[in-house]
Amino acid sequence: MLIGLAIRDVVLIESLDLSIGPGLTALTGETGAGKSIILDALGLATGARADAGLVRRGAAQASAAAIFALPADHAVWASLDDKGLAYERDEDLVLRRVVSADGRSRAFVNDQATSVAVLRELGAMLIEVHGQHETVGLLDARNHRPLLDVFGGCGPELAATGEAWSVWRAADERARVLREQTGRAAAELEEMTLRLGELDRLDPREGEETRLAEERALLGAAEKALADIASARDSLGDNLSGCLAQAFRALERARERAVQAGASAEGSAATLIARAAEAVDRALVEAVEAQAAVDAAAAAFDFEPDRLEKTEERLFALRAMARKLGVAVEDLPGTRVRLAAQLGAVENAEEALKAADAEAAAARKAYAAAAAALTAARRAAGDRLAKAVEAELPPLKLDKARFRVAVEPLGEDRAGPSGADRVEFEVATNPGAPFGGLGVIASGGELARFALALKAALAARGDVQPLMIFDEVDQGVGGAVADAVGLRLKRLAAGAQVLVVTHSAQVAARAEAHWRVSKAGGEEIRTAVEVLTPAAREEELARMLSGSQVTEAARAAARALMDA
């Protein structure tokens, strides 16, 4: 609900703060007093087009702020979430627009800068305007189907159709994907068979590349170490111990001869020879041990001579296959399983595809049945709505007009979760004239009254906007017709908030609140708005009935209207 409107420096309004209540509020005043300025200001706050002409002469900028009190489940909050705008659901929503004298415009939601498009989108969710030059929403045929569904209580059929659509689309997509996969698999059957045969012969194992790489590194290092050991063994030679033994025996003979010659004292030749013989004997022992140790080290590297070659061949074969298939070596076992599954799927593809196609066909049939039920419900609702609207037309001086709801089939390619119907409200303004869209109504007053008739019929199902604005809906009518307009506005306002700009006392008398718009001032003309007391309201209604000269008869008539 709109609870406040703050206007600053808009055309003839310098400063104006309005509090707005529920029900029907009437704006009256002489022609040119500025009633339309208030609507322009509200439009400015809710995203309507704006230019520098709205800025009051001499002011730097114009601004308008519309304050709304909304329930926690209102769709506006979800829209703010989508746009990343902060809010508190227990606080008011403030839409504000500022237009500078050079025509530049800024938009705000709860004092957060945003775009005019966002204001316009939010405004469309909060107000509905029916006036001399526009009937927001009703002229757009895209809105007619949702309005009819609400009026006709088509929610269950609509939900069933949406569910059937989802099931059909999912089944159809599964069949399409399976058909594509089967087609690709069949085309690649020979190639897959060849590759799977190669993988079967290769028989790759999980983690095999890592194990082979480690073994290859170890075998390569072992081969080089064994070569170094062999070189060391060759350096020691096979005759080293023999040479040392021969040297030891020669030294023993030399020592014996020295002893025989009497060289036995310490430091004699015999003693030195004996020491040399002991050293050679020790070297002989060490040489034998060294040769044994080298032989033992060589024996520790016990592997097949061609083991490294076989390991490298296996590793290179795995890597070559991975390159051929465009996968990593560790993915070869999984690729083998996948190819086998694909070949199996090709063998069973015909049956699987038949089953998927049958499922999609059944889902399509179920959708068609649900959509047909929805179409029937819409046509029945359309007949009821047409009767309800036509019952509203004669009291509004539209008795020659006819109304119908056209429910026409769409092609299957245009069907969707909302069904397979094109819905449009159509009118024939004169007997014998063909039916056409609501835009064929030329007169602005007729269009506004027709919108009132349609909204009055739709209101029977509770389909009303939080705020509806009717701008001079009573244009060109009076007496009983104006009274009928007022009664219907009153009925609409029982379940919503309605604002009407009117020149009809019969309409204004039905309002819960009455504002009088007037101009005052000398050189600087200003528009003012006065919330009328019951006494002032009586005087205003009398003025509307009698003109500039208010008579007692007019006052009596005004009292009668207020008491009606």
Total number of residues shown for the chain: 564
Q: Which of 39-48, 222-231, 455-464 has the highest mean pLDDT?
A: 39-48
Q: pLDDT, tens digit, for every residue of 309-331? A: 777 788 888 888 888 888 888 88
Q: Residue 358: inside a domain, yes or no?
A: yes
* Residue 522 to residues 9, 12, 55, 58, 516, Cα–Cα distance (Å): 17, 13, 19, 16, 20
Q: With 50 as the cut, is the pLDDT of residue 1 above it?
A: yes
Q: With 50 as the cut, is the pLDDT of residue 106 above it?
A: yes
Q: Which residue has the higher pLDDT, 417 or 308?
A: 417
Q: Residue 39: inside a domain, yes or no?
A: no
Q: How far apart are alpha carbons 96 and 172 in whole angstroms?
A: 48
Q: pLDDT, tens digit, for every residue of 156-174? A: 999 999 999 999 999 999 9
Residue 497, judged by CB atoms within 10 A of its CB (0-12, 13-18, 19+), counts as: buried
pTM over 0.85: no
Contact 438, 138 (CB under 8 A): yes
Q: How far apart are alpha carbons 401 and 385 in whole angstroms?
A: 15
| DSSP-assigned beta bridge partners for residue 423 | 407
Q: How many percent of the chain have pLDDT more than 90?
A: 30
What pLDDT is recorded for position 134? 58
Q: How far apart are alpha carbons 387 and 395 in whole angstroms?
A: 14
* Residue 279 to residues 131, 262, 264, 285, 436, Cα–Cα distance (Å): 129, 23, 19, 10, 130
Residue 514, helix vs strand vs coil: strand
Q: Residue 526: inside a domain, yes or no?
A: no
Contact 445, 457 (CB under 8 A): no
If residue 109 lies in a helix (H) or strand (E), which one and from where to where?
strand 105-109
- Which CATH number fits the domain that encloses residue 220? 1.10.287
Q: Which residue has the higher pLDDT, 187 or 51?
A: 51
* Residue 428 to residues 39, 142, 438, Cα–Cα distance (Å): 30, 20, 9
DSSP 160-182: HHHHHHHHHHHHHHHHHHHHHHH
- Residue 419 is given by DSSP the state B
Q: Which residue has the higher pLDDT, 14 or 238?
A: 14
DSSP 232-252: HHHHH-SSHHHHHHHHHHHHH
Dihedral angle at the C-alpha atoms of 117, 119, 120, 125, nearest 10 degrees? Answer: 130
Q: Residue 255: inside a domain, yes or no?
A: yes
What pLDDT is recorded for position 363? 95
What pLDDT is recorded for position 118? 93
The dihedral of CA 541, 544, 545, 549: what is its sign?
Answer: positive
Q: Residue 349: inside a domain, yes or no?
A: yes
The structural domain count of the chain equals 1
Q: pLDDT, tens digit, for every residue of 501-516? A: 888 899 999 999 999 9
Q: What is the largest CA-CA distance in the chain?
A: 179
What pLDDT is recorded for position 241? 66
- Place 233 in a pLDDT band, splitting at 50, 70 and 90: low
Mean confidence (pLDDT) of the chain: 83
Q: Which of 23-32, 409-418, 442-451 has the lowest mean pLDDT?
A: 442-451
Q: With 80 as the cut, is the pLDDT of residue 473 above it?
A: no
Q: At 542, phi and psi to the nearest 5?
A: -65, -40
The dihedral of CA 151, 397, 499, 100: what is its sign?
Answer: positive
319 lies in which domain range? 155-371
Q: How far apart are alpha carbons 493 and 529 in whole angstroms?
A: 22
- Place 445 in a pLDDT band, splitting at 50, 70 and 90: low
Per-residue pLDDT averaged across 90-96, rounded? 92
What pLDDT is recorded for position 45? 94
Q: Residue 277: inside a domain, yes or no?
A: yes
What pLDDT is recorded for position 223? 65
Q: At 477, phi and psi to the nearest 5?
A: -130, 165
- Place 130 in a pLDDT band, splitting at 50, 70 and 90: confident
Which distant-in-sequence residues (6+ apart) come within 8 Å of 474 by Cβ?
445, 449, 481, 482, 485, 486, 502, 503, 504, 506, 507
Q: Residue 178: inside a domain, yes or no?
A: yes
DSSP 34-70: SHHHHHHHHHHHTT----GGGBPTT-SEEEEEEEE--
Q: How far apart are alpha carbons 525 and 241 in whole angstroms?
A: 133
Q: With 70 as the cut, is the pLDDT of residue 308 above it?
A: no
Q: Residue 558: inside a domain, yes or no?
A: no
Q: How far apart are alpha carbons 463 and 455 in whole angstroms?
A: 8
Residue 291, judged by CB atoms within 10 A of its CB (0-12, 13-18, 19+), counts as: middle
Which distant-in-sequence residues (6+ apart) come within 8 Å of 133 by Cβ?
444
